[in-house]
A and B are shown apart, each in its own frame.
Chain A
Amino acid sequence: MVKKHSRAKKTIETVLVYILLVVITLITIYPIVQIFGISLRPANELYSTSLRIIPENASFKAYREVLFEKDFFTWLRNSVIVALAVSIFGVTLASNAGYAFSRLRFRGRKTGMISILVTQMFPATMLLLPLYILMSKFHLVDTLFGIIIAYTATALPFCIWTMKGYYDTIPVDLEEAAMIDGTTRFGAFVKVTLPLSAPALVITALFSFMAGWSEFIVARVIINRQGLYTLPLGLESLSSTFQTEWANYAAGSVIVCIPVVVLFLLLSRFLISGLTLGGVKG
Chain B
Amino acid sequence: MASVEFRDVDKIYPGDIRAASDINLTVEDRELLVLVGPSGCGKSTVLRMVAGLEEATSGCIFFDGINVTDLPPKDRDIAMVFQNYALYPHMNVYDNMAFGLKLRKHPKEEIGELVLDTARILGIEQLLERKPKALSGGQRQRVALGRAIVRKPSVFLFDEPLSNLDAKMRVQMRTEIRRLNLDIQTTMIYVTHDQVEAMTLGDRLAVMDEGTIQQVGTPIELYNRPVNRFVGEFIGSPAMNFFEGKLSGTGETPVFKASFTSFPVPERFRSSPGSLVGRTLTLGVRPEDLYISVPDGNEGGFHHTEVVIDVSETLGNEMIFHVDAGGHRMVVREDPDVNGSYGDRVRLSIDLDRIHFFDGGTGASLLAG
Contacts and interface: CB of A to CB of B under 8 A. Distances in A.
Nearest to A196: B90
A130 interface: no
A278 interface: yes
Contacts of A174: 86, 88-89
Interface band, chain B: 20 to 34
Interface of A: 105, 171, 173-174, 176-184, 187, 191-192, 195-196, 274-281
Contact of B88 (A178, A180, A277): A178
Interface string B60-76: 00000000000011100
Given A179-B53, A182-B74, A281-B164, A173 B100 contact: no
The main secondary structure of chain B at its interface with chain A is loop
Contacts of A179: 52-53, 72-74
Given A171-B84, A278-B89, A279-B86, A180 B131 contact: no
B100 A181 contact: yes
Contacts of B164: 281
Contact of B99 (A105, A171, A181): A181
B104 A177 contact: no
Contacts of B14: 105
B51 A279 contact: no
Contacts of A173: 82, 84, 86
B104 A182 contact: yes
Which 9 residue pairs across A and B have the least CB separation, nearest first? A278-B133, A279-B89, A181-B100, A280-B84, A278-B132, A173-B86, A182-B103, A177-B86, A281-B84
A278 B131 contact: yes
Contacts of A184: 72, 74
Contacts of B52: 179-180
Given A176-B86, A177-B86, A182-B104, 5 more contacts: A177-B82, A180-B52, A184-B72, A187-B103, A277-B89
Contact of B73 (A180, A276, A277): A180
Contacts of A280: 82, 84-87
B244 to A, nearest CB: 42
B211 to A, nearest CB: 21
Contacts of A191: 99
8 contacts: A176-B51, A179-B52, A187-B103, A278-B131, A279-B88, A280-B82, A280-B85, A280-B87
